Chain A
Amino acid sequence: MTTLTAVSEVEFSTLRDNLNVSDSVLSKHLAALAEIHYINSRKGVHLGRRTTWISLTSTGGKALSEHVAVLRELIAGVE
């Protein structure tokens, strides 16, 4: 999800290659995130073939910020 904050929308294979994960692993995670409305996914075309375009929703962005804040608090607690 952090990766999605760097773009407005990203194509499935670009995200897969950047995260260095398999198609199935990424699909599974994206489906879970889409179900709770953290990401949007839509069918589209890239380089002449059908693919999926993914973007972070405002709900997802907010949840990510909160999650990062909690992690930072945890880290700060030991410093």
Chain B
Amino acid sequence: MENMSGSPTPEEAAAALAGAEASRTSLARRLVVPSFFSISIGTAIAVQIATTAVGVADVGHRGVWNPAGWLMASGLVALAAVATIQLIRFRRLNGLWLGGFASRVVGGTAAAASLSYALTFGAAIWAAFAGAWWLVGLCSVVGGMAYAMSGRRWVRIYRGEPAAHARGESAAWLAAVGVLALAGLVFLMIGR
């Protein structure tokens, strides 16, 4: 915001707005997504869906600390590790932090990512209980691909309208969703 003494002329006002907008657009267009970002996030999501579905459907073991429990935990840990590494790489590569990218692309709070995840996760669990392992694999792969594609779509939208999409959800909202997701997982693990 320029510090202007007196009232600017309409031409000066238009030039100031155009300059500011150009600078913002330039920063948004410089944004670089780390290499192998989509494939790593998509694979991590696919692995997490598959391991959780297989673990939940393993009714031969009770409780949490058994092979099925470890399988589910390993999928979650792998996803958390990939997400953390990619966010660190993103920050280092661009010299900036983008809340919208962290929550909507990596955290999957974009509508397409959350909807596709919920659908494929539910379908994978159903398929695992039905013993249709090929369908578990298919749902996991589709879930991972949809999640990754939703992320790519968000980056395109962000570049077109950076101010509207830069900030992600509030920390309180993310914490609430995280607690709910964790509670749901614990419920699935204990209730097997």
Name A's B-contacting residues (CB within 8 A). 1-3, 5-11, 13-14, 18-19, 32, 38, 46-47, 53, 63-64, 67-68, 71-72, 74-75, 77-78
Please measure, in the bound complex, the distance between the C-alpha atom of A39 and the C-alpha atom of B72, giving whole angstroms: 43
Asked if A18 contacts B166 (CB within 8 A), the reply is: no
- In whole Å, how far is A77's beta carbon from the nearest beta carbon of chain B? 7
Asked if B24 contacts A11 (CB within 8 A), the reply is: no
Most buried by A among B8, B14, B27, B100: B27
- In whole Å, how far is B158's beta carbon from the nearest beta carbon of chain A? 8
Q: Inside 8 A of B7's CB, which chain A residues have their CB?
A: 74
Most buried by B among A1, A18, A19: A18
Question: Which 8 pairs show the lowest CB-CB distances between chains A and B?
Answer: A14-B95, A2-B20, A6-B162, A11-B95, A8-B99, A71-B13, A5-B163, A9-B97
Asked if B95 contacts A13 (CB within 8 A), the reply is: yes
Q: Inside 8 A of B27's CB, which chain A residues have their CB?
A: 3, 6-7, 10, 14, 18
16 contacts between A and B (CB under 8 A): A2-B23, A3-B27, A5-B162, A7-B98, A7-B162, A7-B166, A10-B27, A10-B97, A14-B27, A14-B95, A18-B27, A53-B97, A68-B17, A71-B14, A72-B13, A74-B13
Please measure, in the bound complex, the distance between the C-alpha atom of A10 and the C-alpha atom of B17, giving whole angstroms: 21
Asked if B17 contacts A71 (CB within 8 A), the reply is: yes
Query: Main SS of chain A's interface residues?
Result: helix
Please measure, in the bound complex, the distance between the C-alpha atom of A63 and the C-alpha atom of B2, giving whole angstroms: 12
Asked if A3 contacts B167 (CB within 8 A), the reply is: no
Is B66 located at the chain interface by the 8 A CB criterion? no
Chain B interface size band reads 20 to 34
Q: Inside 8 A of B16's CB, which chain A residues have their CB?
A: 71
Sample of 12 more A-B contacts, CB < 8 Å, known A3-B20, A8-B98: A2-B20, A5-B163, A6-B27, A7-B96, A10-B96, A13-B95, A14-B27, A14-B94, A18-B30, A32-B3, A71-B8, A74-B9
- In whole Å, how far is B166's beta carbon from the nearest beta carbon of chain A? 5
Q: Inside 8 A of B172's CB, which chain A residues have their CB?
A: none
A46's nearest neighbour on chain B, judged by CB, is B95
Please measure, in the bound complex, the distance between the C-alpha atom of A10 and the C-alpha atom of B96, giving whole angstroms: 4
Asked if A6 contacts B24 (CB within 8 A), the reply is: yes
